[in-house]
Amino acid sequence: MKKILAVFDGLKFSDSTLQYAVKLGIQHDALITGVFLEDPTYTSRGIYQLYNEKEYAYDSVKDLVREDRQERDAAVDRFEKACKEASVNYLVHRDRELAIRDLLKESRYADLLLIDVSESMTRYTEDPPTHFVKEILAGARCPVLILPQHFSDIKKVFWLYDGSPVSIYAFKMFSYLLPVLSALPLEVLTVDLPEVTLYNDMVKELIALHTPQANYHLLKGVPEVEIPRFMRKQEKDSLLILGAYQRGALSMLFKTSMADVLVKEHQWPLFVAHNK
């Protein structure tokens, strides 16, 4: 039984994460751990909203804290109810410490982490990829599935293969972790790069062993432009596998990662794995 972490913000509950979690739970007979990050420094209201009502400030702070707590409890209830209805095994972890560090630690003892692309764990909305999602991508100790804001049943799988060891690692992890989805038709997407053509036979052998049918697409041009353009023409019910997120801050500064580019489109679930 695989252990899948589904990350929720109790104050901005993501329906899409819940739906994908339940679906994957049923499909793969997985144990879903709902991780509710309840960082005490994060509330639904900012300090300036309280400032106007300074006369009643003390009471209203107490009320607001209570309201937040109720909302967080309601979110946990919703998660529990959905899992029970679908007969999926589940656990609830409510975490009251600083969000990101704890989550990364938890990911060590998980097989897959699900997170909504727009999750920011702050009151503010950010354009994806949010800082929070970026940090998770870089630091997670298990593969991450970044989810779009709307659920759609996955019917097709695309693998972005760039010849690097890490993209192969991601493909292997995908087929180990989600065997039901890896039985779906696979489309291998490459951009015409010198290192890609080099070991074609070996890669084909690996693919042939793992998937029943595979199609190959070779695009020409700049990967960061061509891949999103190609993907936009595809059905929405696709999942994308890609390797890598460079850990080093320096390399991230100079080179935007393909994951960042695709996250901006927020249309398809992205399965991202890195082996470092």
Residue from the set 113, 168, 189, 270 that interacts with other proteins by CB under 8 A: 168
CA 82 to the chain's CA centroid:
20
Nearer to other proteins, 56 or 176 (CB): 176
Nearer to other proteins, 38 or 116 (CB): 38
Q: Report 46-85 residues binding other proteins (CB under 8 A).
A: 83-84
Is residue 87 at the binding interface for other proteins, with CB under 8 A as the rule?
Answer: yes
Task: From 37-45, 59-67, 196-204, 220-228, give the range in contact with other proteins by CB under 8 A.
Answer: 196-204
Residue from the set 184, 206, 214, 261 that interacts with other proteins by CB under 8 A: 206
Shortest CB 195 distance to other proteins, Å: 12
Binding residues (CB under 8 A) for other proteins: these are 1-3, 26-29, 31, 83-84, 87-91, 105-106, 108-111, 141-142, 165, 168-169, 172-173, 175-177, 179-180, 182-183, 199, 202-203, 205-206, 209-210, 275-276
